[in-house]
């Protein structure tokens, strides 16, 4: 939506990762996300959590910013 490139189904993988951060409230994600002012700030926060939270270590590949490097749903299964 914010970018001018065609989206693939891997955007759903990214969205699922963010939903999991929100649901589990890792690193107080819900509260901290209220202060974000841009998509870039959100990307930095999400990538930082992907790198630093042990709870997401097995699904970290879902959070790659580049769709080409991001895991697909099939790979995560």
All structural domains of the chain with their residue ranges: 10-76
Digit-coded pLDDT (tens) for 24-43: 999 999 999 999 999 899 99
Is residue 3 predicted with pLDDT exceeding 70? no
Cα separation, 61 vs 70, in Å, equals 6
Digit-coded pLDDT (tens) for 32-71: 999 999 989 999 999 999 999 899 999 999 999 899 999 9
Alpha helical stretches, state H, 1-77: 10-24, 29-33, 39-52, 73-76
Widest CA span in the chain: 34
């Amino acid at each position: 939506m914010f970018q001018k490139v065609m989206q693939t189904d891997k955007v759903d993988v990214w969205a699922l990762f963010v939903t999991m951060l929100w649901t589990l409230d890792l690193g107080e994600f819900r509260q901290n996300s209220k202060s974000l002012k841009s998509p870039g700030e959100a990307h930095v926060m999400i990538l930082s959590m992907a790198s630093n939270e042990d709870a997401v270590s097995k699904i970290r590949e879902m959070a790659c910013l580049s769709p080409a490097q991001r895991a697909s749903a099939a790979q995560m299964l």
